[in-house]
Each structure stands twice: as structure tokens, then as C-alpha cells.
A and B are shown apart, each in its own frame.
Chain A
Amino acid sequence: MFTTRGVRTAAVAAMVIGSIAILAGCGTSSGSSEGAEEQTELGDYEGQVSILAWPGYVEDGSNDPAVDWVSAFEDKTGCQVTSKSYGTSDEAVSLMKTGDYDVVAASGDATLRLIAAGDVAPVNTDLIPNYEGVFDFLKDKEWNSVDGQSYGVPHGYGANLLLFNTDEVSPAPTSWDIVFDGASEYSGKITAYDSPIYIADAAVYLMAHQPDLGIENPYALDETQFAAAVDLLKAQRPHVGEYWSDYLKEIQAFETGDSVAGTTWQVIENVLEGEGAATDVVLPEEGATGWSDTWMIASQAENPNCAYAWLDWIASPEANAQATAYFGEAPSSQEACDYRDDCEAYHAGDADYASQIWYWTTPIADCVDGRTDVECVDYAQWTEAWAEIKG
């Protein structure tokens, strides 16, 4: 039929034209934007700032009326804060690509990727008065600076601890053995952090138990070392009840007894304790992975002055104390301990203790432990291996 054919032709033509137009629009590579310059002076506040952070880092009292270090900032600077929380570092890296955020609180496994992608700008620490009080052992590390150029302000730090059910697991474990070689005893009730970076936890265990592998840094693994870590995790896999990345999911699993041992954060134990669950945490003798988070500014930030104001605010002893205490981690400065009574529990300022924690760092082909004779396994391969481990 004449009309039907006409319509069909028109439809096909419209589809083809539409596709071509849209394909042409996005057919070219955008290319990575070359790193933005660091700011040399501050201007007027823009009136708002948008922040991407871990849950519990930007609290304005809406979750818990007693917890609020945002309103005072808004009153002081006039910068209205909008914030979004994310669940994993990988999610943060994805979200920063949208360009919707001025500030991000990134852990060490995300920072280098953000810097390399040109998503964050160098930070001029001279414009941040409170930067001076920050512990020296947190400054200019491989996860928050490149070639001596600072890319942000340290927030706080903590370890990925071993959480266990005190009714089911006795005596209290002192080693990661319970979730690796000894996992069969609690088969099906072991839990592990659901992220490629968890491979480093296996590497930390191997450092102590298979010294002949020669692992110096869990984030600098050559092929052999990496394969050993992956094998360890594949052996662990049948005993894992579930992997967690949503911390509420882990809390529920430990409350109901579906999980009895696995990695955790102090904040999770705090919640469990508050709800009367029979759980406890320990920093095992092998040491642990951990995180030292960095507040960074987006290279395309629309509100850079409010962003600098936020960085200064969150580094101030009082705000830093509130934020790190709420999350359950050590603060970034000694002065912050004046506003907290639990600093000792987190070994705040204890550089020796801090040095036992292997802070999350993005694994890259140039080994971060300084070896030059081998090539290390990069994060893309960690991601692939992680999917394979889970099977």
C-alpha cells in the first residue's frame, strides 16, 4: 500500500538520520583534560558547594540531629552545601566524571585515578590555614600528591579490621587466618569486602605467611605475587557467605548470624555494639589494609572558593573531630583530639601504628614499592581478577 510504504520509508529514514546525527555528535574522543592549574588566590564565595563523600562525612543533622558540622559552615561562609554519598571508591570515580561535584572525599585507591583522569585539580595548601595542623605523616603521600604537588587535604585514617561474632568464634582471633587458611571452620559464614582492592588484604596475609613470595607492598604485586593472592581468594570463595559493600548489609548479616567473621570498619562495630550484638573487632597481628582519605577539588569545579572554604573547614580541629568521630576513624590533626575523648582507641597521631596500616593505593604498572625490574599488575587487572574470584 502506498501510504503504509511511505510511512515505513519515512520511519526508517528518520531512524537513520537520527542515528547518524547522534553518532556524529559523540563519535570523537573527548580526550583527557590536561590537569587544571592550582589556584593562587581566593575570590568571593559563590553561595553553594556540592560535595561527594563517603556516608557519614557530610552530616547536616538530617540523619541524626545530634550530628551536624555542616550548618555552622553554611552560617559562617554562606555556602549552601549539597552532598551525595557513595558506597565504593569505584563508584566515586564514576560519579566524579559527571562533573556535578566541586569537592570529593576520596580514598587512596581512587585518588590517583582521579588525578590521572584530570578530574581533580592541584590544591594550593597555602590557601588552607588549617592544613598546617595536619599530621606530617599524612601529608605528601603517594595517594595525595604527585611529584611533590599536593592534590588535597587529609581527612582521617583507619584500618580495615577483623569483625567476629563473640558467641560463635572463640577464642578471639588474633590473625587473618580465620578468614583465609582456617576459613573452613566457619564455612559459609565468612564475609569479605566486595571490591577489587580486597585482593590487597590477601597480599597482607601472604606477606606474613609466605615470606618467600617477597611481597613488600600489597599494592605492588608482580605476576607471581598477584597469582598467589588471587589463588588464596579463590580458595576462600567457597567459604564466603556473602560479599559486602553496603555497610548496612554487613550489619544485618552479623545481627542475624548469617556472617560470623570478616573485614569491617570501626563504624560498623560501633553500630553493632549500639544495638547490643555480640561482636568485637581486632587488628590482626599481620597488620591490615586501611584508608587515608583526601578531600579533593574537582578540576571543573563551579564553586572553587566555597570548595577551598570547605577544605579548610573540614580540616579545622572541631569539624574534623566531629566528622572522624562519627565515622569511627582517627582524625587528621592533634588539635582535633581536644574535641574527642576516644583518640587513643584509634591511635591518633601514633605514627608507628599508622605505619602498620597499608593505606589503599591505586595499583599501577610502575610498582609503587619502587621496584623497577618488574612490572606490577594494574588496577584494571585487579578488577578483572576480582570478577573471576567471585566466579
Chain B
Amino acid sequence: MSTPPLTDTRSIRVPPPPATPARRASAFLSTHPRTRLALLLTAPLFWLVVVYIVALVLLLITAFWRVDSFTGEIVTDWTLDNIITVVTGALYQTVTLRTLGVAIAVTIIDVALALPIAFYMAKVASPRMQRFLVIAVLMPLWASYLVKAYAWRSVLSQEGILEWMLAPLGLHTPGYGLTATIITLSYLWLPYVILPIYAGLERVPDSLLEASADLGGKTWRTVGSVVLPLAFPAIIAGTIFSFSLSLGDYITVNIVGGANQMLGNLVYTNVGAANNLPLAAAIALIPIVIIFGYLALVRRTGALNNL
């Protein structure tokens, strides 16, 4: 019985790979890490810096310019007039307070609705039910914003379904106005609040809940001392969405808000109707300042790690 001759691998000479341009480039990159990094980051950095940040900054810079009142041309003289108008004008103060009020109300309503739903989804429901609920929460996001807002216009109208349902109880539809705006915005942003809270609660280990029970904690004690503190950053993350989205909205209030206007409407009319881009940019700074203030406030809670 003879053994097949073993191939002596050492004796085979692997020919060096042909020096194609691709291979040369690859060899160059493997020895030059900084070039590699530069090539990798150029496109995204260009996008982030030029398209994203500079464009926004440029728009906001127009806040320091002014408009020729008759011809509507932008005059690029530096002036603080717009900022002063926006900060001191009674109109802007009223509208800012109204917008803040709506945003806060929407946020409170959404958190109150989202917490039990998210808790049920994360801790109680079977995996099958859980999947179903996630889809159910996501479903409204697949429909257009406008469709949903106009649907609420029909629901809330004098001949709408809400009036039809409430009339036998002696109640009436709120009609178009701030209440309608708060209802519609709460509806629109609810998924954005449920999902972060659900994700946060899912990360709370079941063992902690069991430990609390073992130590004699009743349901409410467990919720108050274990679940809420751990879910707090997630809740804050959810509020950032509902709060900032409400601050900037102008379409919903235009559709169901009756005669009311919010900051977004002032920006919109100043761009579209009055053609006063500088004033619009100055007004747009208000929600930006508010949301940055809010972010600074919640930074320490660790909420931003949840986004």
C-alpha cells in the first residue's frame, strides 16, 4: 500500500498578485491610515457640514438682514431690528406662549397615553401580541400627515363623527380651535413617544421587577421605585419628539386650529405671504432657542443616549 505523494507546499511558489491599480491603491491605503480616514469621511462630512449645517446657518443669518418693504428684495445690511421686534413684540410673546402651551399639553397627553401602552408592550404582552402592537403603533406613520390632519378636520367638524357620538350625551365637538389642535397633534406624535418608552422599558430587566416583588413591593411601589426611575431617560427622549415637533408645526393648526396661529404660521406667512425672510428667520430662532434650552436641561438625565 503506497501513500499518495504529499505535495510539498513549500516548493510551490505563489506568484505575486498582478499589480493592478486597485491593488496598488489598496496597498497605499493600508499604509496611510489618515488618507483612508479622509476618503471615508469626505462625503458624509460634506453632507453634514455644507448641505445640512451651513444651509441652516445661512438661513438663520438672514435674520440679521432686512427687506425693502415695497419691492420685497432682501437688503443685506446688518441689523438687529428683527431680533428686537421678535423679542419685544406683544404678538410674538403671545404666540410663543400659546405655542409653548400647546407643545406642553401635547407632550403631557402623549406621555400619559404612551406609558401604559409601552409598559404593556414591553413587560406584559406575549411576544406575538408584542409584535402585533408594534405594528399597530407604527401603522399610522405609514399614512400621510395631511391625510391624518384632514381626517381630524372631518371628525371635529359640526357635522363630524365626534358631534354625532357626543350629542346623545349632551356634549359637543370642540370645533376648530386650540383644543382641536392639541387633540390632532397628540394623535400625530403618539407613535414617536410610545416607541422610545417601549425601547427603554424593554431594557429594564425582569429580574429587578421580581426582586422588588420578593422584597414585598406592591405594584405601585415597584412602578414608582423601580420602573419609572429606570424608564425616565426614555420618557424624556419621547417628550423631546412630541415637544419639538409641536413647537414647529403649522399645518395642523392651519387645518383644525380655527383662527389661531402658532409660531410656525408666523414663519410661514412671513416667508410665503409677506415675503419677509429676515423676520421669518428671526421668528424661527424662537423654537430653536426653546428646544436647545430644553435639551440642555435634560442632557444630564441621560435621555439623549436614548435617541
Contacts and interface: CB of A to CB of B under 8 A. Distances in A.
A383 B276 contact: yes
Nearest to B41: A7
Given A30-B73, A93-B275, A97-B72, A258 B269 contact: no
A116 B273 contact: no
Nearest to A385: B91
Contacts of A379: 69-70
A155 interface: no
Interface stretch (A60-68, A178-186, A238-246): A238-246
B12 interface: no
Interface string A250-267: 001000111000000000
Nearest to A10: B38
Contacts of A91: 272-273
B71 A94 contact: no
Contacts of B160: 256
Interface string A72-99: 0000000000000000101101100100
Given A29-B75, A29-B76, A242-B258, A388 B91 contact: yes
Contact of B70 (A14, A116, A388): A116
Interface string B22-48: 000000000001100110010001100
B189 interface: no
Nearest to A94: B275
A56 interface: no
Contact of A391 (B37, B94, B276): B94
Given A6-B34, A29-B75, A117-B71, A15 B91 contact: no
Contacts of B257: 242
A250 to B, nearest CB: 13
A23 B46 CA distance: 16
B91 A22 contact: no
A117 B68 CA distance: 9
A3 B36 CA distance: 12
Contacts of A14: 45-46, 49
Interface residues of A, number: 50
Given A30-B73, A241-B259, A379-B70, A7 B275 contact: no
A388 B76 CA distance: 26
Contact of B54 (A22, A32, A195, A241): A22
Contacts of A6: 34
Give the most central of A23, A118, A258, A388: most B CB within 10 Å. Answer: A258
A201 B37 CA distance: 65
Contact of A3 (B33, B153, B176): B33
A387 interface: yes
Interface string A16-53: 00110011001111111000000000000000000000
B233 interface: no
A258 B45 contact: no
Nearest to B153: A252
B54 A391 contact: no
Contacts of A195: 273
A300 B295 CA distance: 47
A208 interface: no
Nearest to B266: A387
Contacts of A22: 50, 54, 58
7 contacts: A3-B33, A10-B38, A15-B53, A18-B50, A18-B54, A94-B275, A97-B275
Interface of B: 33-34, 37-38, 41, 45-46, 49-50, 53-54, 57-58, 61, 68-76, 90-91, 94-95, 153, 157-160, 175-176, 257-259, 261, 266, 269, 271-276
Given A29-B73, A31-B73, 15 more contacts: A7-B41, A11-B45, A11-B49, A14-B45, A19-B54, A23-B58, A29-B75, A90-B275, A113-B70, A188-B175, A241-B259, A252-B153, A256-B158, A383-B276, A390-B261
